[in-house]
């Protein structure tokens, strides 16, 4: 589920994208001219004209800011001509000040536009990285209808420590992974890429889900610790909470292994059940370090019409201004009649409304509905 429309709406109010706001400096110039000309000779409103380019720099680019500066200077000259005081030291000082302020405003625009171009290039690289690492989930996989949602905590970031992926197997089932890598921002992207790569390389060929869990734990731990000394390994562990699922096409069940991750929710009508396994294992990357070499499957019913919701702790730990946690289990039943994509869109809007648009942690969710074959 893309957040680009929301970002485009926000960017439309950023510098260079609000032409309607030009009415403000233009109106200011006209008002100052009219009032100054009609006012008594001892009243001078010309200094207020410096506000025109200063205001314009907040929402327009270099050319428009320069144009507003020229108009402000021309207005000051017109005032001097009409009041027959153009040769006075006061008017000349005001004109000089206007020119200086206009040049400074144009310089600020140049520096800002250069920085925005740099940020645009960085953002393009981030979007490309996201398309490679966090690939879109398939809309259909056998009898399953699937949708994914990712909301970064950093407003302009496109990828953080939350992840999800899906793969089809040769024995007619769909395997899914949802996880949360320790840390956030750029520091977690390497481990995110590692875990996703290991899953995509092995999910379709590992005979059982427990063997896949062992493989992911070993691959994650080896890559993240191979260049560290023993002291560093003991004091700076890398790990990821995760859930591995296998959903067969021809059985109304879901098999899962939980590695320290929040349990999935099974929604059947308005009834919500947390799929809490009897055994929850250590996060990926820590299992091998503590001698864990075997995992056991947990199996739960997953029938036609049911909706399975996977999520990261960024969803349930989101808090509003009063530090009240987001009540996912109370809100989710309201959207169970929607398809997975609509369900996640409702979750997205409701979650951001709860936190007033600011998340403290990345949040991800995957919705899966079983359809009849």
Q: pLDDT at position 57, please?
A: 87
Map residue 320 onto helix, strand or coil. coil
What does DSSP say about strands 271-274 and 265-268: parallel, antiparallel, or unpaired? antiparallel
Q: Which residue has the tokens 């929710």?
A: 265
| Cβ-based neighbours of 183, under 8 Å, separated by 6 or more | 161, 191
Paired residues of 246 in beta bridges: 175, 255
- Asked whether 79 and 33 are in contact (CB, 8 A), the reply is yes
Q: pLDDT at position 84, please?
A: 73
Cα separation of 246 and 227, whole Å? 33
Q: pLDDT at position 368, please?
A: 97
Cα separation of 105 and 84, whole Å? 29
Rounded to the nearest angstrom, the gap between the alpha carbon of residue 40 and the centroid of all alpha carbons in its chain is: 57
- State the Cα torsion 219-224-226-230 to the nearest 10°: -120
Alpha helices in 175-312 (DSSP H): 186-202, 209-225, 230-235
Cα separation of 101 and 93, whole Å? 12
Cα separation of 293 and 281, whole Å? 11
Q: pLDDT at position 327, please?
A: 94
Name the residue among 312, 333, 326, 327 with its Cα closest to residue 358: 326
Q: pLDDT at position 310, please?
A: 97
Cα separation of 344 and 366, whole Å? 8
Which pTM does this prediction carry?
0.70
Q: pLDDT at position 13, please?
A: 41
Cα separation of 302 and 265, whole Å? 11
Paired residues of 180 in beta bridges: 162, 241
Q: Which helix (H) or strand (E) holds 38?
A: helix 23-38
- pLDDT tens per residue, the chain (373 residues)? 544 444 444 443 444 456 678 888 999 999 988 888 888 877 778 888 889 999 988 888 888 899 999 999 998 888 888 877 788 888 888 889 889 999 999 999 999 988 888 877 876 776 666 666 778 899 999 999 999 999 887 655 556 678 999 999 988 999 999 999 886 555 577 888 889 989 998 888 767 899 999 999 988 887 656 656 555 554 456 789 999 999 999 999 999 999 999 999 999 988 999 999 888 899 998 876 566 668 999 999 999 999 999 999 999 999 998 889 999 999 999 998 889 999 999 999 999 999 998 888 889 999 999 998 7
């Amino acid at each position: 589920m893309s957040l680009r429309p929301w970002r485009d709406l926000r960017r439309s109010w950023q510098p260079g994208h609000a032409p309607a706001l030009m009415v403000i400096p233009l109106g200011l110039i006209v008002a100052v001219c009219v009032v100054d000309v009609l006012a008594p000779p001892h009243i001078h409103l010309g200094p207020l004209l410096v506000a025109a380019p200063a205001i314009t720099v907040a929402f327009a680019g270099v050319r428009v800011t320069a144009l507003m500066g020229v108009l402000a200077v021309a207005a000051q000259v017109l005032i001097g001509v009409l009041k027959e005081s153009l040769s006075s030291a006061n008017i000349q000082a005001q004109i000089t000040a206007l020119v200086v302020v206009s040049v400074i405003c144009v310089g600020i625009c140049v520096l800002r536009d250069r920085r925005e171009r740099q940020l645009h290039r960085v953002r393009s690289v981030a979007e490309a990285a996201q398309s490679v690492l966090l690939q879109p989930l398939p809309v259909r996989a056998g009898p399953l209808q699937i949708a994914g949602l990712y909301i970064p905590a950093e407003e302009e970031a496109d990828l953080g420590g939350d992840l999800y992926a899906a793969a089809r197997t040769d024995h007619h089932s769909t395997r899914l992974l949802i996880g949360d890598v320790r840390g956030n921002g750029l520091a977690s992207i390497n481990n995110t890429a590692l875990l996703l790569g290991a899953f995509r390389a092995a999910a379709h060929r590992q005979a059982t889900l427990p063997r896949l869990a062992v493989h992911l734990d070993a691959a994650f731990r080896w890559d993240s610790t191979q260049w560290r000394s023993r002291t560093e390994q003991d004091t700076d562990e890398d790990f990821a909470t995760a859930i591995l699922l296998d959903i067969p096409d021809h059985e109304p069940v879901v098999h899962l292994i939980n590695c320290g991750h929040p349990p999935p929710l099974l929604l059947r009508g308005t009834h919500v059940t947390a799929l809490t396994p009897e055994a929850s294992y250590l996060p990926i990357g820590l299992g091998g370090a503590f001698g864990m070499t075997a995992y056991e499957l947990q199996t739960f019913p997953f029938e036609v019409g049911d909706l399975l919701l996977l999520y990261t702790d960024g969803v349930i730990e989101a808090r509003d201004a009063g530090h009240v946690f987001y009540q996912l289990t109370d809100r989710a039943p309201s959207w169970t009649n929607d398809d997975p994509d609509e369900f996640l869109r409702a979750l997205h809007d409701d979650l951001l409304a709860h936190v007033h648009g600011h998340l403290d942690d990345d949040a991800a969710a995957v919705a899966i509905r079983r359809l009849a074959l």
